[in-house]
A and B are shown apart, each in its own frame.
Chain A
Amino acid sequence: MGVKGIPLTKHETGLITTRIEEVIRWGRKYSLWPLPFGTACCAIEFMAVASSVFDISRFGAELVRFSPRQSDLMIVAGTINYKLGPVLRRIYDQICEPKYVVSMGACACSGGFYDNYATIQGIDQIVPVDVFIPGCPPRPDAILSALLKLQETIDREPQMGPRRPITEHGKTR
């Protein structure tokens, strides 16, 4: 982390020198507040991850916030069909930067085995996705592994400045 530590003595207070970017990175990594955009079966697996057996709160992501204004990680769990597409894009637009999107399950990644008139064949056609989790539904362990991978991604990215070029508001494709 690039920290220069000065040990505590009886008369001095502890002081750590680092760069602002590292502190921001540390804060963002370990407090990703998820917005579970749960539609189908994967939402039940997400509930299981949030429960005490698999416990996502170990990784800082316990505070599930259903409002896009209060969260920064959107987990799309379940099938997205053409009727729900505009809603998904609108919710994504409302999340404040920096925002991350995790596509959970086969249906969100690529339409799953519903290759027909009703299902969007992959949500990356409408929102930019950071981590794809395969599985139908993915095991809760896979979801935790994806969260860790996302934390590694945050490690590599610059934290000052916008994450992506700002696009026109309201564009769906």
Chain B
Amino acid sequence: MEKLDNIIEALRHDLAEAVEAVDRPYGDAVLTVSRTRVHDVLSGLKTRGFDLLLDIAGVDGLHLGGRERFEVVYILYSLRDDLRARVKVFVPEGDMTLPTATDLWQSANWAEREAYDMFGFNFEGHPNLVRILCHREFVGHALRKDYPMMKGQWATGTSDLRPDIERE
């Protein structure tokens, strides 16, 4: 616990207003970060030992009543200290761009593609931001709260992957 607190304190010291809040629900540590500084915070955490990006989760907080409608949560793990941390970013509905984390961790590649597919986040700098789980003719973003559950969309064939090969 103290190691994690020390790391967070050092981070807040270096990047003054980037980390807006630190919560400790159920013993985890969640840092709320502003959208413009998220890349600095993530690279700061990576240099302080958080070398494993476990997951990037998108959340549609339409009924939760948070600051903005969408959230992006990065779940990080430090292999040398065995610590877990989460970084939460609030994203408004009107402007869903975020800097990509693929230059820090290669696991962000597909995790960001999934967040784009399910919610519509636009990760700037991502090498190949196309749909990954739904088919390429799908219109809309499936996990948003206003996407109807039963609305299926037929596909007319498999997609051509030649552009993908060159891009990634």
Q: Which residues of A contact B (CB under 8 A)?
A: 82-83, 85-87, 115-121, 172-173
- Find A86's partner among B142, B150, B156 (CB 8 Å cutoff): B156
CB neighbours (8 Å) of B154 from chain A are: 82, 85, 172-173
- Find B150's partner among A83, A117, A173 (CB 8 Å cutoff): A117
Q: A86-B155, A120-B152 are in contact. List 20 more A-B contacts (CB 8 A).
A: A82-B135, A82-B152, A82-B153, A82-B154, A82-B155, A83-B155, A85-B154, A85-B155, A86-B158, A115-B150, A116-B150, A116-B152, A117-B148, A117-B150, A117-B151, A118-B134, A118-B142, A121-B152, A172-B154, A173-B154
Is B147 positioned at the interface, with any CB of A under 8 Å from its CB? yes
Q: Which residues of B contact A (CB under 8 A)?
A: 134-135, 142, 147-158
Q: Tell me whether chain A's interface is mostly helix, strand or loop, or mixed.
A: loop
Distance A121 CA – B152 CA, assembled complex (angstroms): 10
CB neighbours (8 Å) of A86 from chain B are: 155-158
Closest partner residue, chain A, to B135 (CB atom)? A83
CB neighbours (8 Å) of A118 from chain B are: 134, 142, 152
Interface centre among A116, A117, A121 (most CB of B within 10 A): A117
Closest Cβ–Cβ distance, residue B81 to chain A (whole Å): 38
Distance A116 CA – B157 CA, assembled complex (angstroms): 20
Closest Cβ–Cβ distance, residue A165 to chain B (whole Å): 24
Q: State the 3 A-B residue pairs at the shortest beta-carbon distance, nearest first.
A: A83-B135, A86-B157, A117-B152
Closest partner residue, chain A, to B148 (CB atom)? A117
CB neighbours (8 Å) of B149 from chain A are: 116-117
